[in-house]
Amino acid sequence: MRGVLCDMAKANPQLAEDLAVLTSGGRRLAKGRLGSALVAVALVIAAAALLLVPANQDLVEYLIEKDPCESAALAFEWSHGPSMLQPRAHPAVVVLGDGKIAAIGGITAVGPTSTTEVLDPETWSWRPGPSMLSKRVGHTAHLLADGRVCVIGGDTGAGATASVELLDLSAGFSTWLPDMFFARAGHSSVVLPDGRILVTGGTDWVTGVWREAEVYDPSSRIWSPAGSMSRARLFSCAERISGTEVLLIGGDTDGTSEIFDASTASWGSVASMSSKRSRASSAALADGSVMVVGGLLGDQPLRSSEMFDPASRSWVSTAEMGQPRAGFSLVMLPSNELLASGSYSKLGTDATCEVFSPRNSTWYGVDPMDVGRGAHGCALGPGGSVLIFGGYSGDSLTSTMEIFAEMPPEAPEYCQPIDLLPLVLSADELPGHSQRGLIVKLHAAQAKYNISDFQTCINIMNAFHNQVCAFAQSDHMTVEHALALYEAYASVVKCLGGTPLPPPPDMTP
Q: Average the pLDDT over 155-177 and give the result.
A: 97
On the 0-12 / 13-18 / 19+ scale of CB atoms within 10 A, 32 is middle
Q: Average the pLDDT over 441-464 and give the result.
A: 64
| pLDDT at position 483 | 75
Give tens-digit pLDDT for 6-26. 333 333 343 333 333 333 333
> If you compute the radius of gyration of the chain from its CA atoms, what whole number of angstroms results?
25
| pLDDT at position 364 | 87
pLDDT band of residue 449 (cuts 50, 70, 90) is: low
pLDDT band of residue 416 (cuts 50, 70, 90) is: very low
| pLDDT at position 29 | 27
Assess whether pLDDT exceeds 70 at residue 55: no
Q: Average the pLDDT over 179-207 and give the result.
A: 97
Least confident of 87-101, 368-382, 481-495: 481-495
| pLDDT at position 453 | 64
pLDDT band of residue 201 (cuts 50, 70, 90) is: very high
pLDDT band of residue 296 (cuts 50, 70, 90) is: very high
Better pLDDT: 160 or 383: 160
Record the pTM.
0.70
Give tens-digit pLDDT for 93-120. 999 999 999 999 999 999 999 999 999 9
Distance from C-alpha of 107 to C-alpha of 390, rounded to nearest angstrom:
10
Q: What percent of the chain has pLDDT over 90?
A: 58
> Which domains does the chain show, CATH number per domain?
2-71+430-507 (no CATH), 90-326 (2.120.10.80)
CA 258 to chain centre: 25
Assess whether pLDDT exceeds 70 at residue 197: yes
CB contact at 8 A, 270 and 261 = no
pLDDT band of residue 36 (cuts 50, 70, 90) is: very low
Better pLDDT: 242 or 189: 189
Assess whether pLDDT exceeds 90 at residue 422: no
CB contact at 8 A, 507 and 483 = yes
| pLDDT at position 435 | 53
Tell me what the pLDDT averaged over the chain comes to: 79
Better pLDDT: 87 or 486: 87
Give tens-digit pLDDT for 77-86. 888 999 999 9
Assess whether pLDDT exceeds 70 at residue 294: yes
pLDDT band of residue 455 (cuts 50, 70, 90) is: confident
| pLDDT at position 6 | 34
Query: Mean pLDDT: which of 202-216, 426-440, 451-465 is highest?
Result: 202-216
Q: What DSSP line would sit under 182-239, residue for residue?
A: S-BBS-EEEE-TTS-EEEE--B-SSS-B--EEEEEETTTTEEEEEEE-SS--SS-EEE
| pLDDT at position 421 | 40
Query: Mean pLDDT: which of 249-258, 266-275, 361-370, 471-480 is highest?
Result: 266-275
Give tens-digit pLDDT for 372-411. 999 999 999 988 889 999 999 999 999 999 999 865 433 3
Q: Average the pLDDT over 287-304 and give the result.
A: 95
CB contact at 8 A, 35 and 14 = no
Assess whether pLDDT exceeds 50 at residue 32: no
| pLDDT at position 477 | 60
Q: What are phi and psi of 96, to 5 degrees?
A: -80, 170
Is the backbone peptide bond immediately before 54 cis, with ω within 30 degrees of 0?
Answer: no
b/e map 66-101, b = 16+ CB within 10 Å: bbbbbbbbbbbebeebbebbbbbbbbbbbbbeeebb
| pLDDT at position 123 | 87
pLDDT band of residue 366 (cuts 50, 70, 90) is: confident
Least confident of 59-73, 306-320, 383-397: 59-73
Distance from C-alpha of 63 to C-alpha of 148, rounded to nearest angstrom:
49
| pLDDT at position 254 | 85
| pLDDT at position 497 | 75
Side chain identity at 255, as an amino acid letter? G
